Structure 1
Amino acid sequence: MKIDKLNKQICFFNAENFSASLFELKFLQNNNLITGSSVGRGTTWFFHYQQKKYVLRHYYRGGLIGKINPDYFFYTGLKNTRAYQEFVLLDKMAQLGLPVPLPYAGKISRHGLFYQADLIIELIEGARDLVAILGVQPLQDTQWHEIGRVLRLFHDHNIYHSDMNSHNIMLDTQDKVWVIDFDKCAQRKDGAWKEQTLARLLRSFRKEKVKNSNLNWSEKDWLALIQGYQSKS
């Protein structure tokens, strides 16, 4: 990883052709690099650059604090920032061969005792989250089995996901399973958190089913996922 410091801005990246301008929306717009966007807690931007596609995400706070202070975090050193930690974890997981988006670059902007953060990752081509897929079609037992098997891989490497839900698991056009959004996640010691993570995911599916009774999901799909998780293959 390379680190570039300029005034109150710190960038870290792996790529040789990195440009800090890629964090600037005006630069992306003026050079017709933007290919789309997604609105959630904030706006996530999709863009292309030198024959690759990327995702630009700004870090926001959630909950009541986020309504007062949407995107400023207390600065206690670069290695303690959310963007840096997510970048490092993504890089480590990629080296382990886990199906995660590759990190491209991160940026920390200092403001006195606080900082704002952004992260650029590679776009997973053709991937949709499970809720989007289940909204139009069911998955086969073999697909649920594979989802469970992949989740077990992460747990075998002691990767803790702080927000394991049905939106953070994706399938691409080849049915490859991907896991995304590793903000506030970490590699931990073995523990009860693995069962708690699965329980959180199950609650997510049930919640989505309540929101949309036509969602192509049922409890038997969960059983197929668990069978895959428990499988040694």
Structure 2
Amino acid sequence: MKRLFASIHDVSPRFEGEVDRLLDHLAPHVGRRLAMLVVPDHWSSAPITPAFAARLRGWADEGVEMFVHGWTHRDDSAHAGRAAALKARHMTAGEGEFLGLSHAEALARMRRGKALVEEITGRAATGFIAPAWLYSEGARAALADAGFALAEDHARVWRPGGAVVARGPVITWASRTRMRQLSSLAAAGALRHVLQPTRNVRIAVHPGDTTVPALLESITTTFAAFRRHRPAAYAELAG
């Protein structure tokens, strides 16, 4: 059976209104069968408040899966390698938090995030997804040490220390600039067709998507295109 995995990124008190809007927008397509990627302290200035923690617990009680999504989402590393520096500069606006971290620092942040999310929800975190889907080698190695059952980057989902359990690009959108909006709209349009035969399809939305009507329209069209894929929980991939 073909499966559809939906996720809302950057879940934080900073974007509470946008998260609510995205939940409403996705409800006709997946209900509460989706994942939230929780940022414990977005850009070190939006920690999870007691009120927002209660909302996270409520969503988890409704069946929403919770992933740890970094700690601050901000990249504050000094990138030594040229490839990493180029990724940090061009693939994200200073938000690839785990792209330049050592194993020790990545592991510390992962453990803190996992403990916080699990304390709030009373459930095991489904997994870890790095901000902007970018990992250093040390961060990739730390995933298994932190005890996460699943991890994801732009091209795959895997069990840390084990097998790849889903392959294929995530369908997602970018709202930061007009050029990025147009390129993401084109990519989504192409992937709606290319990924039809794929067993596991992933669609990810972000708070910024709610500010651009064309992106919301594309999101609706994309979910409708995969109506024959069953909305699924990531935990199914954990085995």
Structure 1-normalised TM-score? Answer: 0.28
- Larger RCO: 1 or 2 (CA < 8 Å, sep 6+): 2
Q: Report which of the two structures shows the higher radius of gyration computed on alpha carbons.
A: 1
Structure 2-normalised TM-score? Answer: 0.28
The structure carrying a bigger helix percent of its residues is: 2
The structure carrying a bigger strand percent of its residues is: 1
